[in-house]
Structure 1
Amino acid sequence: MNLLADAFAWLFAPEQWTGPNALQHLLAQQLSFTATAVAIAALIAVPLGWAIGHTGRGREVAVAFSGAARAVPSFGLLVLLVLVFGVLRKPEAATVTFVILAIPSLLAGAYAGFEAIDRRVVDAARAVGMTGAQILWRVEIPLGLPLLVAGFRSAVLQVVATVTIAAYVNLGGLGLPIITGLSLRRYEVVLGGAILVALLALVLDALFALAQRAAVPHGIRADQGHPTGRRLDPEPAAPATPDTADTHP
């Protein structure tokens, strides 16, 4: 309990919010790396995922790539890319590492959103004369958007947590107090940095949860609000049948 109190005391100490390594600057670095990596990954993964979901081709390759990318150890990849890029290009090496980490979730969210659409909806759109491009932009993308936002949510949470390791190569971020605290054996500093990372992840998760809910089309949201999961039209009245008790031969 004393360690937790010391961690909060360190967090709210005025000296932690001033100077070049002030916590707000480290937070800005953490968010900057996260936003840049996720944006670049989205430019690569989302069009590719949409193409896979729209055409139905290449899914096996995408699944294999996603599995391989998830299996790569982030810290080892970061150190490797720093050595490959050179010590003068550490920010670029870190960004590539985080982009590789973000791509699987975005790719899966993009094509899974299309695969989750009822094929009868697509067939109906084609039957009324929509072209392939119209089906893509007016049917598949709007209906697949909730799962795509879920992919963004997963990617952002993975990246924002992993950006912490950027401090190992002197790139700042909220990992800096954690690394510094470990080297100085000041565990209240380590805990304080970990609390900040956890709070940031929780806030981002809540924001993307709201965005995911807002991305659900209004009609589908109304259907989901019904107790049975769909809205039902009033049941037609049963046809009147002659009362056998009042009929005479």
Structure 2
Amino acid sequence: MDYLEYLLDPEHWDLAVNGNIPSLVVEHLYYTVLTLVIAALIAIPVGLYIGHTGKFSFVAINAGNAGRSLPTLGLIILLVTVIGFGLLPVVIALVVLAIPPILTSTYAGLRAINPASVDAAKGMGMRPIQILFRVEIPMALPLILSGLRSATLQVVSTATVASYVGLGGLGRLLVDGLALNQYDRVIAGAVVVALLAIILDLIASGLQRLVVSPGVSGRALTRTSNKPPSPSVGPATATAG
């Protein structure tokens, strides 16, 4: 239980101390948010185009397979030898990790839409761009956001590799702890990363609940089915005296 003593030590939470846990968390979140923004700006438009047009669908499928097999640490080391040390090789490697789940979920979300909904929109006179933004994206939003949540969990847990090339973040607890044989620091770093991943996933889940329409997510149907049945009023009967 030495890692609890490490986590509860006030010195490790003192902002005036170099390498304190709050500053490491902020750096870790910076790497994560920067990666997700860049990956979303790349993967979502590509996924929307592939899902809307049906062209180049093999790109989305192969991207998912490549993302699961590509070693991020090995890619960072390769990029460092080519580009040099700094933030750029780390961000590139993390973006490569984050693109496949976002791309494949965006593509799958659009392809899972009932064609009758698209045909109805065409029958109402909507243009293709209107169909995309007013019909397809709202209906595919649950899967798109699930891809972002999956990418968030992968990036926040993998961003610790930034410390292997001299950057900060919670990986410093792991790298420095292993270098100094301080395993309480290593376990404490792993616990903080896990807690951060859980908190980010809960926040993403709450945002998804706010953004996705109840009719698309099924919450409207659930609320309707949970309502108590209204009392029925039978027809009045008259008796003849």
Shorter-chain-normalised TM-score: which range? 0.7 to 0.9
Is 1:96 the counterpart of 2:96? The answer is no
Shift, 1:227, TM fit: 5.2
Is 1:85 the counterpart of 2:62? The answer is no
TM-score (norm 1): 0.85
Moved over 3 A (4+): 224-228
Shift, 1:186, TM fit: 1.4
Aligned counterparts of 2:223 and 2:39: Cα–Cα separation in 1? 34
Is 1:71 the counterpart of 2:69? The answer is yes
SS in 1 for 2:47: helix
Structure 2 unpaired stretches of 5+: 227-241
Which amino acid letter does the alignment assign opposite residue 142 of structure 1?
P
Shift, 1:192, TM fit: 0.6
Structure 1 unpaired stretches of 5+: 229-249
Structural mapping, 1:20-59, within 5 Å: 20-59=18-57
Of 215, 220, 223, which residue of structure 2 is paired with 1:222?
Answer: 220
Aligned counterparts of 2:206 and 2:108: Cα–Cα separation in 1? 20
Aligned counterparts of 2:18 and 2:57: Cα–Cα separation in 1? 47
Of 5, 23, 38, which residue of structure 2 is paired with 1:9?
Answer: 5
Is 1:187 the counterpart of 2:183? The answer is yes
Aligned counterparts of 2:171 and 2:37: Cα–Cα separation in 1? 22
Of 101, 105, 109, which residue of structure 1 is paired with 2:101?
Answer: 105
Which amino acid letter does the alignment assign opposite residue 47 of structure 1?
P
Which amino acid letter does the alignment assign opposite residue 169 of structure 1?
V
State, as a whole percentage, how many aligned pairs show the same letter: 45
The match for 1:164 is 160
The match for 2:230 is none
Shift, 1:113, TM fit: 1.3
Aligned counterparts of 1:7 and 1:103: Cα–Cα separation in 2? 34
Aligned counterparts of 2:98 and 2:18: Cα–Cα separation in 1? 29
> Contact between 1:149 and 1:211, CA under 8 Å: does it hold in 2?
no
> Contact between 1:49 and 1:108, CA under 8 Å: does it hold in 2?
yes
Shift, 1:70, TM fit: 2.4
Shift, 1:160, TM fit: 0.5
